[in-house]
Amino acid sequence: MTTDAPRLIRSTRLLDGVEDRIRAEFNAPPPPEQALDTAALLELAHAYQPFAVLVTHTAPLKGADVDALPQSVRLVATVSVGLDHLDVPALLARNIAVSNTPDVLTDCNADLAIMLILAASRRAAEYYTLMKAGWGHALGMGEMLGHRVTGKRLGIVGMGRIGQAVAKRARGFDMSILYHNRRQLDPAEEAGATYFDTLEDMLPHCDILSLHMPGSPTAPPLINARTLGLLPRGSVLVNAARGSLIDEDALIAALRSGQLFAAGLDVFRNEPNPNPALLALPNLFMTPHVGSATLETRTAMGMLALDNVRALAAGKPLPSGVSA
């Protein structure tokens, strides 16, 4: 690669196709053998003086970390759609552009949400545990029964790209779609879904509730003992968005009491070490924050991050820039 190619560093090794493109189109050091934390990323940035920094959640840039970036940095490109690991206003105030990777992970995140809905409703975790133990006895007619998904009322909180993709898939199960959002969608986007102006008004009508909105570690949990109590008894809760959206103590109590029949979680308040009380619940189906974890999607995310680097270096608009 020529010396005038954009200089970049990344906090973690990306997929092979993305690394091949980095070698072909950019000036970059070899990928790290292990994901870098913030201190190691900043040390590399000062040594290499990059034009762009590619990050994931393992190397958050907030507060003093933003101030510590070298003057050479013109773009922080996160290989994620979420931005909670970045201090976007501080970066923009330093005239450092920010980009993320929306859209390309919509389908896989929606697929995972549907998997969580099915797995929680049909007791997949309990069935798997039984089979791993050797099964051993025929199940009676009334033993270990799940809940049918077809025809149920699905409440979606956050009807953005992923929420709409979940609704599209749920219609294949003849589910009725309810949603709460900051604004009502136009009729074409709604596609027959029913809008509720407040979450509290929607919850009593939901057999299944699925969360698809941003979260903040400093904001009060959206789902707490009060809101869980508004759901019909025996409903199902799914969260493939952010762990901060749920009061986990209230969730544990609701799963133990039967207020919730089951839950499916891909995200947790304390990752990667979730509350042991959650892990012990038989009616909780869990995955380790893997909504975008497919070969196709993780490759597309890395490529979009590189597209943003190329665009800024050429003086063109960012394909997926982030504003304040």
Catalytic residues: 242, 271, 289
Measured distance CA(100)–CA(131) in Å, rounded: 41
The residue written with tokens 């039967």 in the block is: 258
Residues 6+ apart with CB under 8 A from 108: 291, 292, 293, 294, 296, 297
Using only C-alpha atoms, the chain has a radius of gyration, in whole angstroms, of 22
Torsion of CA 291, 292, 295, 301, to 10 degrees: 180
Find the angle CA(214)-CA(219)-CA(224) to the nearest 5 degrees: 90
Tell me the sheet residues that pair with 230: none
Q: How far is the first Cα of the chain from the last one, in angstroms, to the nearest whole number?
A: 34
